[in-house]
A and B are shown apart, each in its own frame.
Chain A
Amino acid sequence: EVQLVESGGGLVQPGGSLRLSCAASGFLFNDYWMHWVRQDPGKGLVWVSLIDIDGSTKMYADSVKGRFTISRDNAKNTLYLQMNSLRVDDTGIYYCVRASTGRPDYWGQGTLVTVSS
């Protein structure tokens, strides 16, 4: 059974940092591209970042470019998102998402990040 379990969310002040983790199991982690998607409070879904199977390709939404860094450790079956210089509008539930060709086929339960003073 495919499982994606996020952790690392919490309350942080503007300008602070957080590191999100996503532990993957039930599939060959290093065969899949992985994404982070944010759900704004009571609102819709926003794509944040992606990484390819070996970490050589990374992409970011314009709103997080230069502040967030995606990475993965295939030996530990874990995806990461380092979030620096956090802003109030970074607040939301962050989902770890497995991507098969052209589709987001499995989502984690999400971890809540709240940026507030």
Chain B
Amino acid sequence: DIVMTQTPLSSPVTLGQPASISCRSSQSLVHIDGNIYLNWLQQRPGQPPRLLLYKVSNRFSGVPDRFSGSGTGTDFTLKISRVEREDVGVYYCMQATQSPWTFGQGTKVEI
């Protein structure tokens, strides 16, 4: 199975300031169809996870444009341009290139 490793595991942030989370996969996430099925999930306290970004950099429906994603191959980054209070929670990278889906350990973003 592909191992997903996130850094840092905890990220104290300041409101209005940027934040960044890194994710590394144990092997390339380029699918045979040419796509990279690397997704980012957000889990607010007491809530289920929700899809934030898909295929590295595409924002899912309703996701604010302060969230952006980048990366290729095995190294990926989620950036929040200006952190807002509602962004507090745990962020997970996950891959769907190869079965089974695998998830990073999660990064806790707190003010």
Contact = CB atoms under 8 A, between A and B. Distances in A.
Are the chains A and B members of one assembly? yes
Given A37-B101, A46-B103, A50-B99, A104 B48 contact: no
Contacts of B54: 102-103, 105
B68 interface: no
Contacts of A45: 41, 49, 92, 94, 103, 106
Given A37-B101, A44-B92, A102 B31 contact: yes
Interface in B13-67: 31, 35, 37, 39, 41, 48-51, 54-55, 60
A35 interface: yes
Interface residues of B, number: 24
A99 B60 CA distance: 13
B60 A59 contact: no
B108 to A, nearest CB: 11
B77 interface: no
Contacts, number: 59
Given A102-B35, A104-B96, A105-B54, 11 more contacts: A44-B92, A44-B103, A44-B104, A45-B106, A46-B103, A50-B99, A61-B100, A95-B48, A102-B96, A103-B51, A107-B50
16 contacts: A44-B92, A45-B92, A45-B103, A45-B106, A47-B100, A102-B31, A102-B54, A102-B97, A103-B51, A103-B60, A104-B101, A105-B54, A107-B48, A107-B50, A108-B48, A110-B48
Interface of B: 31, 35, 37, 39, 41, 48-51, 54-55, 60, 92, 94, 96-97, 99-106
